[in-house]
Each structure stands twice: as structure tokens, then as C-alpha cells.
């Protein structure tokens, strides 16, 4: 199914990327976000992905419809000017209600797999603010606001807190669908670009256990 469009103007789309759909086609083929580009193309070139989301992460993904818009968005993402909020359901409940993870990350290859690990010496700067929105039954609903944009940053920093994202087999959250949503994005351009993704079906029950919908 074509991803839902959460925001649209002459410069950008923000789509609701389904969990499990990669942004690029893999070597083995299969569906990807790029398969829908022909539906959104406005001229002979583009569109272009302004940033990336992991295959198993759902939610807000910015697509540029003009090259000038792409360059403007890339400058914001590179400089930390894009405001991003992720929701996650994590294993366990943090002792504090909020905090900041400041842990540089480096990619480590282990056989045919890889992951991001904390390394203050060789890692790239990675900073994530977090807060607890609710909890129940030994799990918690957290909001993460990354100030940098490293690969797997939210997943690695959640694990560093001792509370990995549920369903994250790489970072210790167990098997099953990844409970991670790119909930909201805002690009402070003129005019502003802002969108909010709905809670995907695979996260709804766990979020309700943590109090979502009861406020």
C-alpha cells in the first residue's frame, strides 16, 4: 500500500513509513519507499529522501520534491536543526523521569552483522534527551529527542540506559516487532514543515499498557 502522506507542499512530503519497509531497495530486491517515487515526482528529477529511517522503525520520513528543498533539509539535519521526537516502548522502567544520554557511537562489525557501540575515544558525538511518558507491567513508554543523527542512535542509547527498545534483537530488547516510532518531525524553514505520525497497530497495545490513551 502507498504510504500515507502526513504533510505536503510544493517542497516536501512527510510520509508515514510503515515498519518493515526499507527506504532503499536491498540487494535481494523487494519493496521500498523508493518504489513510490514515481507517484510523487513533480518534474524530471527527484524526489529525494531528505534523511533515513531504519527498516523496522515506523513514522515520519521527509521526502524532498525539489533539489533546493533537499539541500535546505540536509543542512538542517547535518546541523542538528531538525526537531525529531521518537516514541518507544522499552524493557523495564527508568529510575529517573528524564535525562540525557551523551555517548559517542562507533560501528562495530561482528562477522556478517554489525551494531553501534559506545566509544568515547573513536565514536562520533551522539546526544539524546529522553523522558518517561508512562509505564506498566514492567515496560515503559519513552520519548526520545535526538540532538544528533547517528545510525541506530535511539536504539543504542536506549540500550545504554539499561532499557532497550522492545523487539530490538540487536540491542537486547528481545524478538518481535520493533517498538519504535518516529512520532514527530519539525523543520524550522519558511514556511515550517511539521508532521506527526499515528501510533502503528503493532505498538498500540503495549503503549496502552503504559497509559497511552488514558490521559
Q: Where do the domains of the chain lie, and which CATH numbers do they carry?
A: 4-209 (3.30.2350.10)
pLDDT single digits (tens) 42-79: 888 899 999 999 999 999 999 999 999 999 999 999 99
102-123 pLDDT, tens digit each: 999 999 998 889 999 999 888 9
- Which active-site residues does the annotation give? 54
Q: What are phi and psi of 59, to 5 degrees?
A: 115, -155
How far is residue 16 from each of residues 5, 19, 45, 61, 79, measured CA to CA in Å? 6, 9, 22, 6, 24
pLDDT on residue 215: 56
pTM: 0.95
Amino acid at each position: 500500500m502507498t504510504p500515507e502522506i502526513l504533510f505536503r507542499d510544493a517542497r516536501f512530503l512527510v510520509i508515514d513509513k510503515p515498519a518493515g519497509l526499507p527506504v532503499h531497495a536491498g540487494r535481494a530486491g523487494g519493496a521500498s519507499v523508493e518504489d513510490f517515487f514515481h507517484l510523487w515526482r513533480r518534474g524530471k528529477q527527484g524526489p529525494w529522501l531528505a534523511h533515513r529511517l531504519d527498516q523496522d522503525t515506523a513514522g515520519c520520513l521527509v521526502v524532498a520534491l525539489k533539489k533546493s528543498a533537499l539541500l535546505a533539509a540536509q543542512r538542517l539535519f547535518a546541523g542538528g536543526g531538525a526537531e525529531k521526537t521518537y516514541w518507544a516502548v522499552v524493557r523495564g522502567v527508568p529510575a529517573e523521569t528524564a535525562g540525557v544520554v551523551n555517548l559517542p557511537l562507533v560501528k562495530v562489525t561482528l562477522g556478517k552483522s554489525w551494531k553501534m557501540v559506545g566509544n568515547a575515544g573513536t565514536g562520533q558525538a551522539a546526544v539524546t534527551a529522553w523522558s518517561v511518558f508512562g509505564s506498566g507491567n514492567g515496560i515503559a513508554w519513552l520519548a526520545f529527542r535526538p540532538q544528533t543523527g547517528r545510525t541506530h542512535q535511539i536504539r543504542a542509547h536506549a540500550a545504554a540506559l539499561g532499557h532497550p527498545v522492545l523487539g530490538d534483537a540487536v540491542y537486547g530488547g528481545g524478538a518481535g516487532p520493533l517498538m519504535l516510532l518516529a512520532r514527530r518531525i519539525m523543520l524550522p524553514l519558511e514556511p515550517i514543515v511539521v508532521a506527526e505520525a499515528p501510533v502503528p497497530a503493532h505498538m498500540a497495545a503495549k503503549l496502552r499498557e503504559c497509559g497511552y490513551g488514558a490521559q
